[in-house]
Amino acid sequence: MLIGPQNSTLVVNHVRSRISQAATAAGRDPATVTLVAVTKAQTAETIRAAATAGVTDFGENYLQEALAKMERLAELPLRWHFIGGIQSNKTRIIAERFDWVHSIDRLSVARRLSEQRPFHAPPLNVCIQVELVPEPNKGGVSPSEVEQLAAAVAPLPRVCLRGLMCVPPPQANAAAERAVFARLRILLEELNARGHKLDTLSMGMSADFESAIAEGATVVRIGTALFGHR
């Protein structure tokens, strides 16, 4: 079942109960896992239905598409997460309109976001995107580059480095999914052992969020399970 005007509460509650079960099975408090509804290719009205069903956090990949919807939903108190590839000439509008950016993969973009974050807004929450499994044309830094980038991003005054994010390709089974997500968790633990205070693991999508939660995901980004195939 997928979100439409009539059944959005049912669909959201079903996904939330799967999140809760996965958290409980891992000995975790379900409240430590935030659902970000990924709404690329969905309309503003679909987002409104999800918001009515209690979703507060929305993820978008494409800036122009996101801005048009944000405009239409301006009266709703939603948190917006940018999760797509970032062009340097688009950082100002991202810094102005979003609450989170999950897809930092280079220092120049983080610097621009920090410089361009409006003074009246709190620091922009950011995650570094890590490419755990090498793939062509996927964003993210390699695991060996994470520490250096984190050290450079953390001191920027108008962004707040919150953690790490990944978008691994589909794996053959749950054990393989967990092995990939465990690597992101370990990278975060290593950063914290070096003095960072990172609290966010943004990992897990419709096909693999239960495995991600088992490995410590604090943010799951879910599109298809809520809204159907794009």
Ligand X SMILES: *Cc1c(COP(=O)(O)O)cnc(C)c1O
DSSP character for 30? G
- Pick out residues in 152-171 that bind ligand X (CB under 6 A): 167
- 36: part of which helix (H) or strand (E)? strand 34-38
Binding residue for ligand X, selected from 9, 61, 116, 171, defined by CB under 6 A: 61
Residues across the chain? 230
Which listed residue (33, 37, 38, 201) binds ligand X by CB under 6 A? 38
Paired tokens of 212: 């991600």
State the Cα–Cα distance between residues 72 and 80, nearest whole angstrom. Answer: 13
The residues facing 202 across adjacent strands are 165, 219
Report in angstroms how near the CB of residue 197 gets to ligand X at its nearest.
Answer: 24
x-or-dash pattern for ligand X, window 68-107, by CB under 6 A?
Answer: ---------------x------------------------
- Count of residues engaged in binding ligand X, rule: CB under 6 A: 13
The residue within the footprint of ligand X, chosen from 18, 40, 79, 97 (CB under 6 A), is 40
**Is 159 exposed, middle or buried, given 0-12, 13-18 or 19+ CB atoms closer than 10 A?**
buried
CB of 83 to ligand X, least distance (A): 4
CA distance 166 to 199: 15
- Is residue 222 part of the contact set for ligand X (CB under 6 A)? yes
* Residue ranges binding ligand X (CB under 6 A): 38, 40, 61, 83, 167, 205-207, 221-225
